[in-house]
Structures are given as C-alpha cells and as structure tokens.
Structure 1
Amino acid sequence: MKIGILGLGLIGGCLGFDLRSQGHHVLGVSCRQSTCEKAINLGSVDQASLDLSLLASAEVVFICTPIGLIVPQVKELITHLPKAAIITDVGSVKMPIVEAISPVWENFVGGHPMAGKTDAGIEAAQRNLFVNRPYVLTPVATTPSNAVTIVEEIVRSLGSIIYHCQPEQHDRAVSWISHLPVIVSASLIAACLSETDPEIAALAQNFASSGFRDTSRVGGGNPELGVMMAQYNRQALLNSLYQYRENLDEFIHIIEGKNWELLAEKIKLNHQALHNFLE
C-alpha cells in the first residue's frame, strides 16, 4: 500500500519506520528540505518532498503536523487527492479537527496514538514506539466503515491497542491524563524557580533526582505542543485544572491542620486507584 505522511517530525518519523517495515511504500512531505533529506537517509520514508502533490498517489495519508496546522494542511491536501483516499491524523485534540474536516472529506478518520517522547524532530524518531500503546480512533456517524477498517488494520499492524470513542469523549479524557499533567508539571518547575535564596535553589538543583525527573518531565517538553493542547482543548483542560486546584487546596488544608491520619488515608486510596490508570 502507498501511505503518505504529512509532517516528518517525531510521530511522522516513527510511523514511517514502522510502516516501511510492514512493506508499505511511504511518501513523506515536510516544510523543510533538510528534514526530507534526513527522513530518506534515516530510512523513515521511501520518497520525500516539500510538495503536497507527492501524496496524490497515496491510498492513506497520516497528518502528523502540529495541531494548529492540521485543518489548513488538510484543506490544501485534498485538492491533490482522489475521493477514495483516506485521511487520518495523529492530533492530541479531536473535536475541533473532526468537526472541521469531516464535512469536507468523507473518508476522514480522527486518530490519536497515545505515545511520544519529550524529544522532537525526525532525529528523535524510533521504531516500535506504538507497540502496546493505546491508539484512539474517533469516527463519527458519517465516517464510512471501510475507511475505519483500513485505518484499524494499519494501526493494528503497529502493535497498538485500538480504542474507539466520540471526539468530545476523547478530549475530556485526555484533558485528565495528558493535558493536565503537562500544565501541572510546568507549574511544578515554575514553583521551584520561584525560590529566592540562591543557595537553596542551587541545592535543590543538585539534589534533584528520579522523583523530580518523573514529575517534571512532561512540563519541560515541547512548548509548541503544550500551547496547542491548551488552545484547542481549552474548556476540557480548564475543567480539569479547576478540579485539580480543588484537590490541591484539600491537601493544603489537611497539612495545615496536621491531620496526618487523613493524609495517610488519602495517599493510600490514591495509591490503590493508580493501578486503574497504569496497569
């Protein structure tokens, strides 16, 4: 199968590696000639170009651009594609994307692989990134079943675990487990930077180890991606942040009141509940 990838960053590069290993002929388009050359040299794509017309022969096209570029890029891309071509995306927000693209391209299947790295760019791409990771598909009532089936087959070949839900459900769910952690983690780093005693600040930086690394990792990631998450999933993220603030205030009150038994009970319950998210 000829498969196109529009956007040869981390996710596009990883997709290219895996799809080529499945025997597909992969066509890549990037906005930078240097990225096209790197993608070919690394073996992520068979052909690469700055020109969207390269994808005209693709049967399926994965849109792997930043969230804000997905809709305008698709509207430009469809002028080059036959009506039978299937388009899917990898954006971490689904409702505004599905609402904008589905009316103009029937064979569109919203998608989101729940996998990634803090490093960005084609240089950070690796094989098997999607193995045993959730991959969410968000078809709507007008999405042709055969388009969904073909995207499912490709996703399954990546080793991913497929989930289906409505775009709005997706956005509410990822606001909790993906977008909220980015903002919370960023605020943790900002809070640490607010220490005014240079000696204490230096000690904190020297002492930082696995605990700080684990809780701060996503907050120090790709700034563009963090902003796009907040901009395009604003209301769901705000709802999650309001709830998080309430829970944080509760912990503050417990500690202010020296209610150690209640604190221990809450941490115990959280520890038990964590298994529901990270089995």
Structure 2
Amino acid sequence: MPERVHIIGTGLIGTSLAIALTQHTVEVTLADASPTTAALAADLSGGEVADGLAADIVVVATPPDVTAAVVAAALARHPEATVTDVASVKGVVRAELAAAGAPGLGRYVGGHPMAGRERSGAISARGDLFEGRPWVVAAVADTEPDAVALVKGMAEAVGSVVTLLDPGEHDEAVAAVSHVPQIAASLVAARLADLPDTAVALAGQGVRDVTRIAASDPQLWTQILAGNAPAVARVLRAIATDLSGLITALEALGPEPTGAVVAPGARAALAGAIQAGNAGHARIPGKHGAAPTAYAKVVVLISDRPGQLGRLFQDVADAGINLEELVLEHSLGAQFGLLELSVLPGVEAELRTELTRKGWRLHA
C-alpha cells in the first residue's frame, strides 16, 4: 500500500481515486492541464494540487490518446516512483512507450480499473467507484515485481479485485466485454432517434437495459475504440457474420403470415441465435464474481409513493430472506412499477407467502 500517490488527470477516474485514497489516509497530490479542474478535484477529495515529486506511485488518468506521452513524461520526472495508468487499452500504450525509448520502462505498470459512470468529470466522482470492480494490472516480463506489488496494493486498498493480464490479453478481453457492448448499445439506441413519440413511449425494461450505456461520452469512446481498433474489429466482424445469417433467415420468412412460408432452416437459425445468447449469458459471473447462479424471480407491484421501497425491503428482511438482485421497471401510464426480486430458489415460496400476507400484490 503506497503512502504517497500523485494523480495526473482529475476527471471522473482520477478524482474518484483521490477520494478513495484520502479516505485511507494516503497522501494524495493532484495535477491537471486545467488548474480549475485540479482545484475542484482537491476540494472534493481532500488532496492537494502539487508536483508530487515525493510520490511512491504516479497515476496517469488522462484521456487515452495522450496517455503514453504523459506516462513517458512521468517516468522521466519521477525517477524513483512507480508509474501506472488507467487507460482502457494497454497494448498501444506500451508499444508507444517502447517505440519512444521511454526511460525506466520497468517501473511502468499498465492498469485498467473497470469502473465508471455514464457521467464524466470531477464533479461526478465517487469514493466507492472501485469497490467490488475488476482492476486489471497488465505487466510484462521486464516489469519490476515491486512496482507490480505497489499498484496491486493500491487497487486492492480502494476495494477493487485485481486481475493480472498480459496487455494483449487485456485488449482482446475488453474488446468483447466492454468496447463492443458500447457500440451495440449505441447502435440500438440510434434506431430510436427517428421513431415517433408513440413508439418510444412503449420502451420497456428490455430496451432500457440494452441502451443504458448509450449515453456515454462520444469523444472519450472514439479514443478508446481507436486505441483498440484491431481487437474490436475482430469481434464486430464475427457479429456481422451472425447478423448476416439472421437477416437472411428473416428475409426468407417473408411478409406472409406466420406459418405460410416454409423457409427451411430459417426458424432454426433464429432459435439458434437466441440459444447461443443463452449460453453466453450463462457465463457472466454471478454475485461477488462467483459462479453464475439461477435465481427465482418474485415480481411485486409497487406504487410510486415515498416509503414503499423501504417498507417492502423491511418486510423481506423480517422474513429473513436475502435479496440477490433487483430490477425496477416503471409501468407505462400508471403510478406504479414492477419490482423484480431475485432470490435463491429454495426461499421463493416462503417469500411469496410472506409478501402476500403483508398485503403486497404479486405479479403472476
């Protein structure tokens, strides 16, 4: 665990890290190209705007397209410090550093905290942003072990779960689990822009789930995607092949009523795509990163009034039942919502009985 951390770049990630570290009594210094932004981050975090020359770790939290240059400058300016970054691409940063002959490259430890929000900037920072989230440490053979240990200790101190990956492995992984999902969300959301209001008003939890991250910063994501272009393109090419097959199947079914067109194999292609999605979804880690678990769903109709959620949660707690997950979907044109409670299958019947006894209306 470092005693002194210098953070260069005081946006969402840099300021959130500053808040989390000061809560652990780490001495934090801050720097940013914008003096106003740096001063705001200091106010929010309790850190100090200073050069950080005595830092144990220098964290570069700048936009991805300038990360390598700032890391190189930090390695030269802080010859005794470990230098890490938070960029969401790792291979291109290390390649640029190596090509530039950056000094002290063994002290550079690539890092990627996989945490964020739809909102950006220091004002959106949160000290708990990293809790329970993965933090990739992307070291290579000639990275100094002490430097790796220091970055790992910092990440764990703010609540992250550290994963060690080669930079190339990291970039291939995030292309599939982060970068392509962003593109998919944006493409689906873009189809909503020209729909009539009556159609958009029908949007339910499905489209909200799929498009949740579509509100992300276009400038930042352009830099991220450009930095990981080959890996992202490979995943998108595979998806394009799957989409082409689905389009062919749908067009084969034609405009006739269901069942009027034989179209051999078309329905199997549609079912196969959904089934393949089931298989992939089943691999997503469950609660606290544990193996995926199948939960029972209990859906409660809840009125949109103050105190209703608190009362429901208290009734669940009084029954001695732990909630695993929950999703709230607001109903169209009505002042109530559908709250989906996920519980272990063994307690589903007991929860239904208790909530019904307490007067809650359950959805079939």
Provide the residue aligned with 2:125 in structure 1: 125
1:55/1:80 contact within 8 Å kept: no
TM-score (norm 1): 0.89
Deviation at 1:231, TM superposition (A): 1.1
Residue 275 (structure 1) aligned with residue 282 (structure 2)? yes
- Counterpart-to-counterpart distance in 2, 1:45 and 1:243: 47
Secondary structure at the aligned position of 1:239 is classed as helix
Instruction: Tell me the number of residue pairs that the alignment of Structure 1 and Structure 2 aligns.
Output: 268
> Conserved in 1, the CA contact under 8 Å of 2:4 and 2:28?
yes
User: Given the alignment, which residue of 76, 79, 85 partners 2:81?
Assistant: 85
Matched AA of 2:284: F
d(CA) in 1 for partners of 2:113 and 2:38? 23
Alpha-carbon separation, structure 2, partners of 1:218 and 1:278: 19
SS in 1 for 2:115: coil
Structure 2 contact 171–231 (Cα < 8 Å) conserved: yes
CA distance, structure 2, for counterparts of residue 190 and residue 249 of structure 1? 20
Instruction: Report 1:79-228 matches (<5 A).
Output: 79-81=76-78, 83-101=79-97, 103-104=101-102, 105=104, 106-193=106-193, 195=194, 200-228=195-223
Whether the 8 Å CA contact 2:176–2:235 is kept in 1: the answer is yes
Residue 251 (str. 1) matches residue 246 (str. 2):
yes
Deviation at 1:165, TM superposition (A): 1.4
Root mean square deviation of aligned Cα: 1.8
TM-score with structure 2 length normalisation?
Answer: 0.69
Secondary structure at the aligned position of 1:110 is classed as strand
Residue number among 239, 256, 264 corresponding to 2:271 in the alignment: 264
Select the structure that is richer in strand. Answer: 2
Per the TM alignment, residue 76 of structure 1 is displaced from its structure 2 partner at its CA by 2.8
Q: Which has the higher contact order (CA 8 A, sep 6+)?
A: 1
Aligned identity (percent) is 28
Instruction: Please state whether the residue corresponding to 1:192 is helix, strand or coil.
Output: coil
Q: Which amino acid aligns with 1:215?
A: V
Structure 1 range deviating more: 62-71 or 154-163: 154-163
* Offset at residue 216 of structure 1 (A): 1.6
- Say which is worse superposed, 205-214 or 254-263, in terms of deviation: 254-263
Q: Cα deviations across residues 217-250 of structure 1 (Å, max 9, x unaligned)?
A: 2232011121012211111111111111111222
Which amino acid counterpart does residue 147 of structure 2 have in structure 1?
A
Larger radius of gyration: 2
Corresponding residue number in structure 2 for 1:19: 21
Contact 1:101 1:108 in 2 (8 A): no
Would you say the 8 A contact 1:185–1:218 is kept in 2? yes
* 2:235 alignment partner in structure 1: 240
Deviation (angstroms), 1:163: 1.0
1:158-186 CA distance string (max 9 Å, x none): 22111111111111111111111112222
> Cα offset for 1:214?
1.8
Give the Cα separation in 1 of the matches to 2:276 and 2:187: 25
Cα contact 2:5–2:28 (8 A) shared by 1: yes
Q: Please, which runs of 5 or more residues in structure 2 have no aligned partner?
A: 254-265, 287-364
